[in-house]
Chain A
Amino acid sequence: MSLKRNTETEVEEGVKVAKIESSTEETAKNFFLQFKTRLDISQDERSQVINISRDVTAASKKIIFALHRVKKNGQEPLSLAPDVQATLTSQYKLIAAKFAEINSLVGNSTNAYWKYSRQVSGASEEMIEAMSFQFWLERGQIMTMEELHEIIKQHNIDVYVHPRDYISGLFDLTGELMRYGTLNKAHGLPIVALLREFEYSVFVLTGDPNLVKKIEVFQQSLAKLERLLYDQSLQVSEVV
């Protein structure tokens, strides 16, 4: 008798307990639904920004490759061949369109810049690398921040550039200069002289963790080019 009663209550209570459990679980699910929509929206936005930034990077790389085909003939300012100029025009136009797309998506404010700096900075740096490479080919100098702003304006690009992006872009440029100096031996010496200017800045920059890797790569580039010039000088001296 007592055993039977127990079983009955247990069953009854089991049902009741299950009901309460499922109702609190529903409450919990509803509570977390408020975050779901918001997280989804922000993650979609982020992945769109990443994709557009990749397009900017790709376009900048095309510009850089086109510029490597330019022969610097000591004439300054140097005018670029029509086919190179055509690539540049179309790719800069694409870059302008892509940045406009990002701006319409996230707004063009410095706050939006910081929000997506991890996603966008890589693209800006690549663009700055391309611009500074072209600048060097044309005038044999390192582009200043003011000159960069002007060039960006000329191409109708609307993007906020933080000094950090500018400096990172210039460090990427050192890699291109090393490549150019290796392929065009006549320019080796002036390029090495220019790269040594960067060497001094390394002392100032040691605190910035974002640049540590770039500085390492730069130092390797400089060493490669110095070694190359050494080999060349030996050959030249031998022949004489």
Chain B
Amino acid sequence: MDWLSEVQKLNDQNSQNVTRLNEEIDKLDLTLKKAQIVVGRAHTVAPTKFYLQPLLEDPIYAEIAEKCQELATTASQWQFYRYNNMYGGCFQRAVFVTLLRHFLANWVDTDMAIVVSNPSNWQSLVAATPLGPDLVSKQLGVPFLTELEAGNENTCHLTDYDYLLGIVTMINELSRLAFNSVTAIASYNESHDTKLPFVFPQYLLAFIKNTHAGLMVLNLKNDKLRRSYDSIKYDVKKVEEIIYDLTVRRLV
């Protein structure tokens, strides 16, 4: 049975590659889980520099970049499209964590003194766009390449798809953060003399709406990105309702 030896070869070679790659993927996956716990602390603390700064300076982000680079080096041995679907999900989460951290850092850097003295001025502070793909790539140490740039090279890289899915995941997370920030601000105000205004949820809404409007420019086909993109309209609605709740109670 000559043809059967071909089967054996195929199985052996492929399973070796997959095992090798899975080792790296598991390491990155574990780091990402830890990182999601770290950025997840944003849900429990009041959105001020004092509370957010520690979770933005955690060493976990450097570890993500390290693991991403190790995975990319291993994966670059083989054709890019051959195994990309195995680790694409991890890259998308790494992009998401990077984007979320940058978003929170942006917020922390806004001058809270201005916000507190004149809460109606917050709109001018909102970031118009998320962190761009090239800067995300720089932070993770994995190249971002368009399909044209990647050509037929094996170089493991971040794709448009990874980046956009990272964006959508971030928006989903921010709508949840909007809820929890109301709780966190209220509990902060209960125990402190200087009251925090409810600016952060408004800031979130403006950013989510901007990004949603931006994503609407794209023609998406029926795939994972399209399905997750479809969920953003509910995120917008959710956060709008939060602002409505705050408005009727004269809290904003």
Chains A and B form a bound pair: yes
- Verify B213–A36 contact, CB threshold 8 A: no
- Verify A145–B6 contact, CB threshold 8 A: yes
Out of A13, A109, A207, which one reaches B152, CB within 8 Å? Answer: A109
With both beta carbons as reference points, the residue of chain A lying nearest to B127 in the complex is identified as A24
- Verify A32–B218 contact, CB threshold 8 A: yes
Q: Which residues on B sit within 8 Å (CB–CB) of A112?
A: 81, 152
CA distance A110 to B79 in the complex (A): 7
Is residue A43 contacting chain B, with contact meaning CB distance below 8 A? yes
- Verify A25–B219 contact, CB threshold 8 A: no
Out of B9, B15, B160, which one reaches A163, CB within 8 Å? Answer: B9
- Verify A164–B10 contact, CB threshold 8 A: yes
CA distance A20 to B128 in the complex (A): 10
Is residue A234 contacting chain B, with contact meaning CB distance below 8 A? no
Out of A25, A38, A205, which one reaches B7, CB within 8 Å? Answer: A205
Q: Which residues on B sit within 8 Å (CB–CB) of A24?
A: 126, 128, 206, 210
With both beta carbons as reference points, the residue of chain B lying nearest to A45 in the complex is identified as B147
Number of A-B contacts (CB under 8 A): 114
Q: Which residues on A sit within 8 Å (CB–CB) of B163?
A: 35
Q: Which residues on A sit within 8 Å (CB–CB) of B44?
A: none
CA distance A112 to B147 in the complex (A): 11
- Verify A167–B7 contact, CB threshold 8 A: yes
**Closest approach, in angstroms, between the C-beta of B19 and any C-beta of chain A?**
12
For chain B, the count of residues having a C-beta within 8 Å of the partner chain is 44
Is residue A95 contacting chain B, with contact meaning CB distance below 8 A? no
Out of A13, A31, A39, which one reaches B219, CB within 8 Å? Answer: A39
Is residue B249 contacting chain A, with contact meaning CB distance below 8 A? no
- Verify B120–A13 contact, CB threshold 8 A: yes
- Verify B11–A208 contact, CB threshold 8 A: yes
- Verify A163–B10 contact, CB threshold 8 A: yes
CA distance A13 to B122 in the complex (A): 12
Q: Which residues on A sit within 8 Å (CB–CB) of B129?
A: 27-28, 31
- Verify A38–B146 contact, CB threshold 8 A: yes
User: Which residues between 162 and 178 of chain A lie within 8 Å of chain B, taking CB atoms?
Assistant: 163-164, 166-167, 170
- Verify B147–A38 contact, CB threshold 8 A: yes
CA distance A144 to B7 in the complex (A): 11
**Closest approach, in angstroms, between the C-beta of B211 and any C-beta of chain A?**
6
**Closest approach, in angstroms, between the C-beta of A160 and any C-beta of chain B?**
11
- Verify A35–B7 contact, CB threshold 8 A: no
- Verify B152–A163 contact, CB threshold 8 A: no
Out of A17, A33, A110, A143, which one reaches B217, CB within 8 Å? Answer: A33
* A residues lining the B interface (CB < 8 Å): 13, 17, 20-21, 23-25, 27-29, 31-33, 35-36, 38-43, 107, 109-115, 117, 142-145, 163-164, 166-167, 170, 197, 200-201, 204-205, 207-208
Apart from A25-B214, A31-B214, A36-B217, what are 20 other A-B pairs with CB-CB below 8 Å? A21-B206, A24-B126, A24-B210, A31-B129, A35-B218, A39-B218, A107-B151, A107-B152, A111-B154, A114-B80, A117-B81, A142-B1, A142-B2, A143-B3, A163-B6, A163-B7, A166-B3, A201-B7, A204-B7, A205-B7
* 12 residue pairs from A and B, CB less than 8 Å apart: A17-B123, A27-B128, A28-B214, A31-B132, A39-B220, A111-B80, A117-B81, A163-B7, A163-B9, A197-B1, A204-B4, A205-B11
* B residues lining the A interface (CB < 8 Å): 1-4, 6-11, 15, 79-82, 120, 123-124, 126, 128-129, 132, 146-148, 151-154, 160, 163-164, 206, 209-211, 213-215, 217-221
